[in-house]
Every structure is written in structure tokens, then in C-alpha cells.
Structure 1
Amino acid sequence: MARSKEFEESAVLEKAMKLFWEQGYEKTSMNDLVEHMGIHRRSLYDTFTDKHTLFLKAIDRFGERFNARMSAGVKQSETAEQALKFVFQYMIHGDEDVPPGCMVVNSAVELGIRDEEVDAKATEAFAKAEQLVREIVFWGQQNGEFTREYEAEELAEYLHNALVGIRVMKRTSLPQEKLERIADVSIRFVKK
């Protein structure tokens, strides 16, 4: 008779995601994961196969969480400028219960060049984020908030690059005020 799982897979995946997010892939050992997730090593292997597979699932979990938060915040915005400000503020401040920065950016920097699966996930996540920014810019151009001097695609690439930079700098001891200035200048750049 097979033993039933004594843990909620979603809850332990959330714990693994936060640990990988905080420490990175290579610094996180299997012992760290077992201890942090609160499950037996055998259960970890039975459920997630191996550390790399668990890491990829953690990236997916991060993406689901991030995309849901971005979508909800943008939908609540009354103007394109408000939506863009929300995106920048979320990148700077994030949620209280998670490590600083962005798991996808961290993973791309750590492993992207030598791990095809991580690179593919990061590339896909960046494309989704840039698409969201492009939609906000297009919205702002249509209602006269944002400049039409550049195509929405070009402005989205520029803004996404600033957002990735902020997510990297968020992992350092740079003052929050500097990140706020970068966000303000980026938003002013696209305004009419």
C-alpha cells in the first residue's frame, strides 16, 4: 500500500521558491532544501525528482505569482501612467514576505548562459513582462498620456531594461531613493 503524502505540495514548493530566490541555485544544497521545506529527502525526490527539476518548478511558481500580481495591479489602474507607476513601484518594493529582487532575474544572471532550461524560462518571463509594458505604453499612447515619438515596442524595450536593472540593484545596498529616481525618470521619458 502506497504511503500518502504528509505535506501540501504547493506549500513546500513555495518554501523552496523563497529559498532559491534568496540564495540562488548553486548556493542552495539539498540539505538546505530538506530542512527549509520540512520534508524528508526521499519525499523531495519522489515529488520533485531532483534539485534542478525543483528549481525549474520554483521558477514557474514565481512566474505565476508575479504575473498574477502584475495583472491585478494593472487592471486596478485608471490610467496608463498609474499602471506604469504600479509596475515600477512593485519592482522597487515588492511584497513584504519575499526576498528582495526578482527570482527570474537572479536565475538568469546566475545560470542563464549555461543552463538552457533556465535561459528559456527567463527569456519567456522577460518577453511576458515586456509585453505587459508594451500594452501599458500603447494604452498611454492611445489616450494621449505617452509620447508617440517612439513606437510602443521601442519604449517597452527601454522601460523593461530599466525594470530589470532595478530588480538587480534591489539586491544591493543602494538606497531606495536612487531606485525611485530611476523609476521617475523612466516614466517622465515616456510621458508627452
Structure 2
Amino acid sequence: MARTKEFDPDAALQSALELFWERGYEATSLTDLVEHLGIARASLYATFGSKRELYLKALERYGEQSDTRIVEELSQPGPALPAVRTLLRRFADEATCDDLRRGCFVTNTAVELAAHDPAAARRVGESWQGLETALVSALMRARAQGELPAGRDPVALARMLMVLMQGMRVVGKADPGPGRLRDAAAQALSLLD
């Protein structure tokens, strides 16, 4: 007779996500995970595989939560530019108000692992491509609705915004003073006029 799991794998994955997000991959040991999740090492391996596999699953979960929210915000009917402006301001505000200085889990992964872990780099790239695609779509709608001047390139603007937003997350981890981030956001927003 097979044993039933004595823990909720979904809740454990969410808990692992929070721990990895707070500490990073390298600074989180298997012992930390076992203690934080409250499960046996054998159960962790049986359910999630290795530490790396658990990290990649946590990164995927984070992307599903974060990326879905952004796509929904940018694809609402009606004027598109207000949603783009709100998103950019929110990125600046979140980077400024992040008392734990966690930043963005995807951006953290890019900085810590992407250069030497192809699977992590692929997941980071997928997340960033999704953000860029959502921005391009919103900006194309804005141009078609007359909100964005006809001479503006939605693809180039989306790429610039995506890169700026990820940069805000990095800067916010090191120097979360509001002036720098809000000034950068304001300058980027001026390109949408």
C-alpha cells in the first residue's frame, strides 16, 4: 500500500518559493529547505527532485503568478497607455518600498544563475519575453487608438520599458531610495507622450 503524503506539495512549493526569493539559490541549503518546509529530506526529494529542480519549479510558479497578473493588467479593454503607465510606476514603487530588498525572483535568478544554468536562463528569458510581448501588444493598441504618436515604435518602446523595469528591480535591491527610480520611471513615461 502506497503511503499518502503528509504535507501539501502546493503549500510546500509556495514556501520554498518564498525562501529562495528571500535568500537566493546558493544561500539556501537543503537543510534550510527541510526546516522551512517542515518536511523530511526524503519527502522533498521524492516530491520535487533535487534542490535545483525545486528552485526551477518555484521560479516557474513565481512566473505564473507574476506574469499572469501583468498580462491581465495590460490587456484590459479601453485605453492602453494608462495600464502601461501604472505598471511602470508600480515597478518603481515596489522596488522603492521593498523593505526586505527581495527584488524580483526572475531578475534575481538572471543575476545569480542565468550565466551558467541554461534551464534558469530559459525560464528568465520566457518571463521577460512574456512581459515584452504584453507591453508590445498594449503599445500597439495604444497607437491604434491614437494614444501613442504614430511615429513611435511599440516594439522598441516595449523593449526599453522591459529592460528599465528589470533594472529598477536590481537598483532597488542595492539602493531603494525613491528619487532615482521614480526619476527613471518619469523619463521613460515621457517617451510615451
Q: Output the TM-score relative to the length of structure 1.
A: 0.90
C-alpha separation in 2, matches of 1:35 and 1:180: 39
Q: Which residue of 2 aligns with 1:127?
A: 129
- Tell me the amino acid that sits aligned with residue 26 of structure 2: E
Q: Which residue of 2 aligns with 1:137?
A: 139
- Tell me the amino acid that sits aligned with residue 128 of structure 1: G
List runs of 5+ in structure 1 lacking aligned partners: none
- Tell me the amino acid that sits aligned with residue 105 of structure 1: T
C-alpha separation in 2, matches of 1:143 and 1:185: 23
Instruction: Note the C-alpha offset of 1:77.
Output: 6.8
List runs of 5+ in structure 2 lacking aligned partners: none
RMSD: 2.1
5 Å matches for 1:84-103? Answer: 84-94=84-94, 100-103=102-105
C-alpha separation in 2, matches of 1:91 and 1:84: 11
C-alpha separation in 1, matches of 2:76 and 2:84: 12
3-state SS, counterpart of residue 173 of structure 2: coil
C-alpha separation in 1, matches of 2:162 and 2:77: 19
| 1:73–1:86 Cα contact (<8 Å) kept | no
Identity %: 34
C-alpha separation in 2, matches of 1:88 and 1:177: 15
3-state SS, counterpart of residue 170 of structure 1: helix
* Distance change (3 Å), C-alpha of 1:75 and 1:151: closer
Instruction: Note the C-alpha offset of 1:87.
Output: 1.6
Q: Which residue of 2 aligns with 1:42?
A: 42
| 2:75–2:138 Cα contact (<8 Å) kept | no
Instruction: Note the C-alpha offset of 1:147.
Output: 2.7
Instruction: Note the C-alpha offset of 1:13.
Output: 0.5
Instruction: Note the C-alpha offset of 1:73.
Output: 2.5
C-alpha separation in 1, matches of 2:75 and 2:138: 10
C-alpha separation in 2, matches of 1:165 and 1:47: 35
Q: Deviation digits for residues 135-179 of structure 1, max 9, x if unmatched?
A: 111111111222332321111111111111111112123312322
Instruction: Note the C-alpha offset of 1:133.
Output: 0.8
Q: Which residue of 1 aligns with 2:148?
A: 146
